[in-house]
Each structure stands twice: as C-alpha cells, then as structure tokens.
Amino acid sequence: SRQRYVLGDTAMQKMAQSHVFLSGIGGLGVEIAKNIVLAGVKALTVHDTKQCTKWDLGINFFIHEDDITGQRNRAEATLHRIAELNPYVHVAASTVPLDETTDLSFLKQYQCVILTEVSLLLQKKINDFCHAQQPPIKFISADVYGICSRLFCDLGDEFEVLDTTGEEPKEIFISNITQSNPGIVTCLENHPHRLETGQFLTFREVNGMSCLNGPTHQITVVSPYSFSIGDTSDMEPYLHGGIAVQVKTPKIFYFERLEKQITNPLCLVADFSKPEAPLETHVAMLALNHFQENFGRRPNIGCLQDAEEMLKIAMSISETLENKPQVNGDVVKWLSRTAQGFLAPLAAAVGGVASQEVLKAVTGKFSPLQQWLYIDMLDIVTPLEKMESEEFLPRGDRYDALRACIGDSLCQKLHDLNVFLVGCGAIGCEMLKNLALLGVGTGQDKGLVTITDPDLIEKSNLNRQFLFRPHHIQKPKSYTAAEATLNINPYLKIDSYINKVCPATENTYSDEFYTKQDVIVTALDNVEARRYIDSRCVANLRPLIDSGTMGTKGHTEVIVPHLTESYNSHRDPPEEEIPFCTLKSFPAAIEHTIQWARDKFESSFSHKPSMFNKFWQTYLSAEEVLQRIKSGESLEGCFHVIKTLSRRPRSWTQCVELARVKFEKYFSHKALQLLHSFPLDTRLKDGSLFWQSPKRPPFPVKFEFNDPLHYDFIVSAAKLFATVYCVPFTEKDLSEEAILKIISSVKVPDFRPSNKVVQTDETARKPDHIPVSSEDERNAIFQLEKSILSNEALENDLQMKPISFEKDDDSNGHIDFITAASNLRAKMYNIEPADRFKTKRIAGKIIPAIATATAAVSGLVALELIKVVGGYPADAYKNCFLNLAIPIMVFTETAEVRRTEIRNGISFTIWDRWTIYGKEDFTLLDFINAVREKYGIEPTMVVQGVKMLYVPVMPGHIKRLKLTMQKLVKPSADKKYVDLTVSFAPETDGEEDLPGPPVRYYFVQEGN
C-alpha cells in the first residue's frame, strides 16, 4: 500500500502486466532484480551463464557458500531467493548463452530488457534489435566496474509520459483577477502558487468572471503570488472566490540508440562542482570496454602497463566523439587499477536508480533518464594514492572484489568497526545488507554491529523491507533483520535490541555506549528522533550518517566531528498547522475535513473513554462523587464524565440511535448554526462578503438511508460506539434491515439556534478548558442521582474501552469512519471528496515509500561510511539529494563547521567541550574560578539542562556560590560527571550574554 501512494493505481496495474528480461546476476543485477520484484512486475526472467565463485559472496547477497561448493549457476542459485521476495511475481531463470550469434527474436515477449555485465558490442546489437521493434522494447544497460558506474536508457524514438513528476496537482485559492490583456491572477496572501510557466490550469467557483470556469488555460508566472492567463479584458469583472487547479499534461520524450549516443552522449550531471565529470567517466569506461575487446580481459589490479594502455585507448576514443572531451588521466588510471574490483554499495545506489527506470519504462509514470548517468567514487580512492599495490591484490576470500577497490588496510578497518544502526525498517534492511557485504563487524577481536528497533513487522513493510517475509509478520524487526543478515554473511557479529533510542533509554545507550561506537547510522522516519541522536553524537564526538526517503525522493547527510555542521545546525521550517477555526467551522480543502474527522475519532473513541476511566480510577464510586459535588467540591472533568455516564448506550439499538443523532448534529445542525450566526448576506466592516473564498458557506445534509455515504457513517460510528461502551453486536445486527428498522424509529432532536460565539480568528488556538456553568453543575448532580437510582452507575458502568487509531487494519472500521465523516463534511461545504485510499494516507500521515529510492540512499550512505572509516579529509565527503521521479541526483560538499567567537580570540565550535576536574568540597565559586583560570574567561551564568544553577540576577543565587557542586547538582551515586552550559558577560551592557561550549565537570579527579 505504501508504494501505491508513490506510483498510483494505473501505473501499478501496468506494471503488474509487464514481462522483464534481466541479464547478468552479479552484484548489480541482483540489486535490480530485488527492487523490481519487490515493486511487482508480472514476470522476470533472470539470465546468467556464470558459475558462483568465492568472489560473489562479497557482492551478491543472495549467493551463499553452498552455492559455490555446489558449483551452481548464478541465476539458478539466486532464483528462489529472488522469487520469495514477492509471491505475485513469476521469476524464471535462463542459462543459455547470449552472444553475437544468438537469435534475438526470443526478446519479443518482453516489454523491457536490462543488461549488466554484457560486452559493449553485444549491448549495441541488442539495443538495435529492441529499438527497431513496434512498439520498441525498452532497453536499459548498467554496469559497475571498480570505482565507476554507468547507466544507459533507450525507451524508443518517442516515449509518452502521462505524469512527469508524480506530485499532487496543486490547488490555488484566488484573491483577484484583473480585467486586462493578459489577465493577472493573484493568490491569497502568504500562499505562493509554486507553478511554472507553461503549465496548464482550470478554474472553478470564480464569481463574476465566471466564463473562466471549466476551460483549460496555459499560464505564465509573473511572481511567486501571481500569474497571467491570456486576455480577460472583455470578460465580466471579477467579484470574489475561485480555485485554480493544475492540469497534468502528457509529455513526449525522445531517445537515440546506444550507437549514436556513444559519440554524442546526453548525460545527467550529478555533481555541479564537476560538470565535466560525466563525459570524463564516459570516455574512461569506453576505453575499458575497448581494452576488454582487445585483450579478452580487464586490466590487472595495480598494473601500470595496463593503465598506460587504457590511457592511450582513451585518447584515441576522445578524438572520435563529437565534443572531443578532455581525458582525465586520474579517472582512467583508477578505473584501470580497480576495474576487476566491485564496490557493492555503488551497485546498490546505481541499482536503485536503474530499477526506477525499469518501472518508468513499463508504466509511463515519471520522467525517464536521458540518457546516461555516471557516478564515480574518485573521492574514495584519491587518498589511497600512496598505498602499495599489494594492498589491492586478491587473498582468496569473500572481500577480494572490495579489496581491489579500497585496499586491505581499509578492509580490515571495516571488519574491526563498531557500528550502531538505529532503525531496521526499509533503509535499515538495505543498510544491514551493505554492512554484511562490506564485512563490517566481522573482525576476529574487534568489530560489532548493534541494531535497535521497537517495531513489529507489518504486512505493509514487505514491499521494501526486503529482509522480511510474510511468515515474519508481527515479529520484532531487529531480531528478524539480524537473523536474515547472518544469511548474507555468517561471520558478522550483531547485537539486536528492541528499544527506542530516546532520553528514557539513556541507561542502555549511555555516554559509555556511544564512546564505544566508531560510527552511528540512522535509518529513522521522524525528525525528532534524528535530532535527539544527533545531539548524543555531538556530545560524545561520534560521526553520524543520516538518510531518509519520501516516495521517490531521498537524502543522505554525513556528520563528522570537528569537520562538519551537525543535523541540528539547520532546521526545516515547521509544518503548517491548520488553524483551529478552519477545522472547526471554515474548512476549505479536503485535508481540513479529514483532519476534522481524525480529531472527532480521537476525541470520541480515545480521549473521552481514557478520561472517563482515569476519573473512575481516582474516585471509586458514583456515590462518593455525588457526595463530594453536593458538598461544593469541584472535581476536575466530572461534568463531562457524568454526562457520558448518563447518556451511555447499553444496547446495539442505542449505539445506532446515537450514531444517527450524531449525524444530525455534525452534518445538519452545525451548518444551520453557522448560517444562523453568519447569514449568507453577512458583510465585514469593509463591506466585503463574509462568505467568500476561502470561506465556504455550509449547507445542511438531509439524512437519506439509501445514500451509501450516510449509511457507512451510521454503521461505522455505531460499531465504534459499541466497542468503546463494551456493547456486543452480531453479524445479523449489521444487516440493512436491522439498521433500517432502528433508524426509522429514531426521534432526532430539532435544531435550536444558540448564541455561542463562533471563533473566526485564524491565530486563535483551541481552548484547553471550556468553563462549566452553575446550571451545568446542578444538572450534573441531578443526572448522577438519576443514574444511581436506576442502578446505572455500577462498577461495569464506570468503565469504557478506549480505541487506539490503527490505519492498517481494514477490519477495525477506523478509516471507514474517518472517510465517511470527512466526506459528509466535505459534502456539507461543497468540497471535492476523497476516496478511502487518499483519506487513509492523510489521516494516517503515511509516508509513501518504494524500494528503489531506499536502496539508492542506503548505497550512498555505505559509500560515505567507507570514507568516515578511512578518516578522510572534509572535502571528500558528499551529501546527496535525489528524486528518482524527475530524475535528479545532486551531490554537494558537507557544510563546514562554524566557529563562534566569545571574545579576546577565544572561540569554540559545536564539537568543542571544556573539562573541569573538581573534588569533594568544590564549590560553585571554585568551579567559576577554575573555568576562568583554565580558559581565560569567567562564566556569568551556569545552567544544567533546563535547571538554572547560577543566574546572578535571580533572587538568592549569589548565596549559591558557597554551595558545593555535589549539593547543587545532586548527582546519582554512579554519576562521575555532569554536562553544564555556561555563558559570559557581553562586552557592552544591555547586550545578550555570550554563549560558550558545554563544560563537562568531573566530581573528582580522574584516576581517584
């Protein structure tokens, strides 16, 4: 279901009808196979003619040691492991030779062909065949050699895309349209339209200039808040209202064959600081292909002669290309040196991108790659320049492919690494696979991978969390992932936990724990947890690599002590909250009605029942409560609790009646009350209409039993009321006749207008307490007495069953209620309704997800991990932002850490920490003096967390100078130190205090 939100149903259906052929099940082929089987094509044929070797264990996560001893073919060995990723995909293996003499007509049964590890001559031949078919067979080729990777797409002469970005069509509220040529449309203030020139829109609900409603208009952007639409000078003048809706238009993409593209390549630039890099890698990889054709092999590891030979070939190739690009000797040399090797994380990154291109090819969804993507890892090898060539030679183990790229010393550092991976969801699973292939945590004496995740496996995880299978559902993610990772590399040492990493678990994940880790990798789905772990990494000077995805978008960020800024150094703008008055009375978009319905669910079925239970746990009987309120005590929440008790439904019939009464209250009386408070002709002080865009007047909904929406609301609400009030019901109770019988005899209360003030101020917050009047209090006493007399305040009556919202269980009726309630409210306000699927995404705050982006992001993280382990300089690290839909991939250098000046040349960064060693009778004054003596500046304020230890202007604080640090801080017995924040007097009075770095105060000298 998470992937449906990325691709949409049309694309999912097209994908489920497509047949795909994939040749070469090495490290890159298996990545592509995994991603497209998880995505759900109809059938995949995996083709390979090679036998499994020891080498494959370090690059192919589905090849195991017994495949090597059994001398199995790679396609046959991996077949069942690829197939069990998704029971809906038919996976077949082929082991017949594919070469210059093969009759290619067997490819006609496929919609898409992917080649890896195929010679360039054969790639051209197969590409010509695919391009010539009617319709063309979509052709993709991809390769990873050593530190370089290449991806090429040819989807035919003309390829139509129905949706180029996958973004929701924008809806824009309008405040004005000029009568001019061209007419200028202005949006509501503070709401930028975010449109681009050339896009198309339709209008609806425009008053005055109503002839604009309906037809499609092409726009030209004038400013972030306005755009022009053509001649409006002869139209009626604009009065008010109107919504502009973006219209998606199909786009044609044009492709050339491989043969032609080789001489004049169209490349995606991934690193704008090196725009020439793609062409340089293009030439180097062509030179490698020619070297293979000439010598029947790849260049030998570290062989200078082969590198020279390849450089000559590159020079001559460059002459044959249209732009005659410069040859980069470094790229050619390093490609030659490492060409026999293989970087598994690079294959994960390229495999993620390539798989998304396959999905585009078979669905026509998103913009395809035109036509080449090159990613090189020159950053990784440049610092290895001085290493002996022996370092890169094979040792006959599973890490030979990696060793050929990064040398044995760096391999050993990876084996001895202690990594803490937080989260075992989609990125976590991919990350564990990358760590296993790199041999992280496999050292004989050192090295350990620690993982934690509090969640259990859900069915909706299986489309991208590839270590999990259907029989794992409801098992802990971390234990299951650990077990599955050992299948990839049995030598991995792995500790798995099911804790959340948060302040409550600091006893487990203590400073001591962090200090033992060499690097922390986060695979989280929320900002709050990232901020917390980042603060722990900064406090303990630990490198952190963070990443995340949302649909086809992804990011990676590397944080290295003393070199880069931290995650908390930058803040995203907070999410816009929907104003309280908009939710309560003036919804303008379906998001508002869904949030309203979600809030109703929370208050009726979770919050109220919880408060009810809490109240009756505090006061043990109804008689006691009655006595107390009669004697004038005011008990918090008692009015609402007594009201709930007196109206408590006690049968299925009463639950249905309650749902019917709520229908009237929410969807009829609410509208009548608003129109009573603000009749349709109400005007504001400036003379403009009260009811104009974005305010929409409501109209009462008349209950119709035969309207499926009305019926759904009654049934879903009644079922939830029955659950919270512990009322049993049967299948028979849910029949239409049974419900019709109850509803036709319900007496619905008539509408009586009230003089309640309706909140119209957008900045007003929801009030915490609504005051209870004395009349309400008298009423409560009467109702409670009545309940006690009629024996309806017994122990069972004083309990309810709160419901926790669960979006993924379709049988619980939660989303059914929210969909019905939201769409009824939308109908009342004349807002376009949303189907159950869209409602579930918005109400459940579901983050769309797909395996392609996850795989790409995790591969990039693992590449940065190698650099962190090697202790590389700041300019080697790269952050990445990608969106596979458009497609873009942007690498940027990390942000350099900022220095904060205090004064007199004293400065600090976020990574600095000052230390002071005290003793038993050390006073606060001693501490202040010690800081001045050691660091040359005297603190004027000392704070511990949120507790102010010493602020001179606070009453009584001067006396604290004589108190011992032990007394002020009150440490627990095992605490050796405390982290304090200090600040310093400004240079001139009246300015802010100057901040300082954290000061770690040890209660006694180290070693005592």
CA distance 327 to 469: 48
> Would you call 491 helix, strand, or coil by DSSP?
coil
| Of 374, 345, 369, residue with least CA distance to 357 | 369
Residue 499: Cβ-neighbour burial (10 angstroms; 0-12, 13-18, 19+): middle
**599 to 580, 604, 807: CA distances (angstroms):** 11, 8, 14
Active-site residue flag, 303 = no
CA distance 818 to 593: 9
**864 to 381, 441, 544, 806: CA distances (angstroms):** 12, 17, 10, 37
Q: Say if residues 405 and 146 touch (Cβ distance below 8 Å).
A: yes
**What would the two tokens of residue 351 be?**
């495999």
**405 to 81, 270, 337, 437, 441: CA distances (angstroms):** 28, 22, 8, 14, 19
Q: Say if residues 590 and 826 touch (Cβ distance below 8 Å).
A: yes
**What would the two tokens of residue 189 be?**
């203030």
CA–centroid distance for 346 within its chain = 22
* 956 Cβ contact partners less than 8 Å away, ≥ 6 residues apart: none
CA distance 126 to 112: 12
| Of 93, 164, 144, 413, residue with least CA distance to 298 | 144
- Cis peptide preceding 476, ω within 30 of 0: no
Catalytic residue among 581, 638, 726, 880: 581
Please name every residue paired with 4 in a beta bridge, in sequence order, or none if there are none: none
**479 to 457, 470, 517, 923: CA distances (angstroms):** 11, 15, 20, 49
**438 to 129, 414, 472, 832: CA distances (angstroms):** 38, 7, 26, 52
**What would the two tokens of residue 954 be?**
């606070």
Length of the chain: 1008
Angle at 162 between CA 160 and CA 164, to 5 degrees: 95
Give the distance between the most distant pair of CA atoms in the chain. Answer: 102
| Of 336, 367, 364, 333, residue with least CA distance to 353 | 367
CA distance 754 to 700: 16
Torsion of CA 68, 74, 77, 83, to 10 degrees: 150
Strands ordered across the beta sheet of 171-177: 216-218, 200-207, 240-247, 171-177, 184-187, 226-228, 220-223
Helix (H) or strand (E) holding 984: strand 977-984
Amino acid (one-letter) located at 854 = T
DSSP letter string, 587-622: --SHHHHHHHHHHHHHIIIIIHHHHHHHHHHHS--H
DSSP secondary structure code for residue 892 in this structure? E
Phi, psi of 127 (to 5 degrees): -65, -40
CA distance 674 to 662: 17
CA distance 305 to 455: 55
Buried b (16+ CB within 10 A) or exposed e, 539-559: bbebbbbbbbbebbbbbbbbb
Question: Annotated catalytic sites, by residue?
Answer: 581
